[in-house]
């Protein structure tokens, strides 16, 4: 079995819940198209998952074609619960779609997931925390774990030092080099490493810029050059090795409605460009990999 022999298999609930639920797993980036409205993504989502549900439950007659009605039908006839996993849930916000389409999307998720008996567990991953506003049904049934507050799951927000040390030992790599390049993210007092950077680099001859090459640093430049009061001065201080005070609770979880320096710096924490020390209420550049990119941006200004 997939998890046999791993730490999770020692948990008291492992056998209790093993193979009990059907799972619907969706990567929304595979459905969203920038040149089409969000409604097209939602219709395609209903169609693709609906097709699989019809194959899995051929004995059932589905009156509705939307995903919500089909799952409700399965629940009322078979009492089957589902674990629903949505990856990249915030992709439409990162694409900056019009506000009315954002509202349509949030209403879809709320109607699909909130207070539904067929949902045993809904798990969503993304960069942005959920924004409950805009006069839509709120997604307030989630427990949120972010880069500013992941307690008590902070050890799962990235690779721990022991995990990186063991990977280096297993693959004959210099742990101290990995520490210099990738250590520095702090989540609820625990130091973690970016899993993408570590796993991408473990097969190379030496550490280098890995994760940064997968991201759009044009976006980082846009945030720094946003014209928002205090941002350039704060970034200059951070690049020089300093820290800046922030209050992440004041950020409204939006990519576009950035009004204050605090908004920009908090967003950069969620994007992975800064790390937040909750005990001090400050942010800083986490490690050498990210610092090099800030330095490169500064040289081109």
Q: Which two tokens stand for residue 41?
A: 């993504």
In order of 182, 193, 196, 282, 287, the CA distances from 242 in angstroms are 18, 21, 26, 10, 13
Give the helix ranges, DSSP H, for 204-287.
Answer: 217-224, 231-239, 261-271
What pLDDT does residue 88 have?
93
How far apart CA 79 and CA 101 sit, in angstroms, is 33
In order of 6, 18, 22, the CA distances from 11 in angstroms are 10, 11, 20
What pLDDT does residue 119 have?
97
Residue 83's beta-bridge partner residues?
23, 121
Residue 22's beta-bridge partner residues?
82
What pLDDT does residue 94 have?
84
How far apart CA 43 and CA 65 sit, in angstroms, is 10
| Structural contact between residues 139 and 132, judged by C-beta atoms closer than 8 angstroms | yes
Conformation bin of residue 190: beta by default, left when phi > 0, alpha when psi is -120 to 50:
beta
Determine whether 175 is exposed, middle or buried from the number of CB atoms within 10 Å of its CB (0-12, 13-18, 19+).
middle
Look up tokens 């942005």; give the residue: 128
Residue 193's SS3 state is: strand
Conformation bin of residue 272: beta by default, left when phi > 0, alpha when psi is -120 to 50:
left
How far apart CA 295 and CA 275 sit, in angstroms, is 17
How far apart CA 272 and CA 215 sit, in angstroms, is 10
Residue 249 CB-half CA count within 13 A: 2
- pTM for this predicted structure: 0.84
In angstroms, how far apart are the furthest CA atoms of the chain? 66
What pLDDT does residue 136 have?
65
What pLDDT does residue 256 have?
75
What pLDDT does residue 150 have?
92
What pLDDT does residue 222 have?
79
Along the chain (301 residues), what's the average pLDDT of each consecutive run of 10 residues?
A: 82 86 94 90 94 93 89 94 95 87 91 95 90 69 90 92 94 90 90 89 74 58 84 92 94 83 93 92 93 78 60
Q: Which two tokens stand for residue 49?
A: 């998952």
How far apart CA 272 and CA 293 sit, in angstroms, is 12
Residue 267's SS3 state is: helix
What pLDDT does residue 186 have?
92
């Amino acid at each position: 079995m997939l998890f046999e022999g791993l730490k999770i298999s020692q948990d008291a609930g492992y056998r209790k819940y093993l193979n009990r639920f059907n799972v619907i797993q969706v990567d929304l980036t595979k459905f969203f198209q920038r040149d089409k409205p969000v409604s097209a993504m939602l219709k395609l989502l209903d169609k693709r998952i609906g097709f699989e549900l019809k194959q899995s439950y051929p004995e059932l007659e589905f009156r509705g074609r939307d995903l919500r009605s089909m799952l409700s039908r399965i629940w009322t006839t078979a009492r089957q619960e589902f674990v629903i996993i949505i990856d990249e849930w915030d992709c439409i916000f990162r694409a900056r779609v019009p506000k009315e389409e954002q509202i349509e999307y949030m209403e879809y998720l709320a109607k699909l997931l909130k207070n539904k008996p067929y949902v045993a567990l809904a798990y969503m991953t993304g960069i942005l925390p959920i924004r409950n506003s805009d006069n839509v049904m709120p997604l307030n049934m989630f427990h949120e774990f972010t880069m500013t507050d992941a307690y008590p799951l902070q050890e799962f927000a990235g690779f721990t030092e022991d995990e990186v040390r063991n990977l280096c030992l297993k693959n004959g790599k210099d742990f101290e080099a990995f520490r210099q390049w990738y250590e520095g993210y702090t989540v609820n007092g625990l130091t973690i490493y970016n899993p993408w950077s570590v796993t991408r680099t473990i097969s190379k001859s030496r550490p280098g810029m890995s994760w940064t090459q997968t991201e759009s640093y044009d976006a980082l430049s846009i945030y720094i050059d946003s014209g928002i009061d205090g941002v350039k001065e704060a970034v200059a201080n951070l690049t020089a090795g300093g820290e800046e005070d922030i209050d992440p609770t004041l950020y409204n979880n939006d990519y576009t409605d950035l009004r204050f320096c605090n908004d920009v710096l908090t967003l950069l924490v969620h994007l992975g460009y800064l790390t937040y020390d909750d005990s001090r209420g400050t942010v800083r550049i986490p490690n050498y990999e990210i610092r090099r990119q800030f330095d490169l941006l500064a040289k081109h200004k």
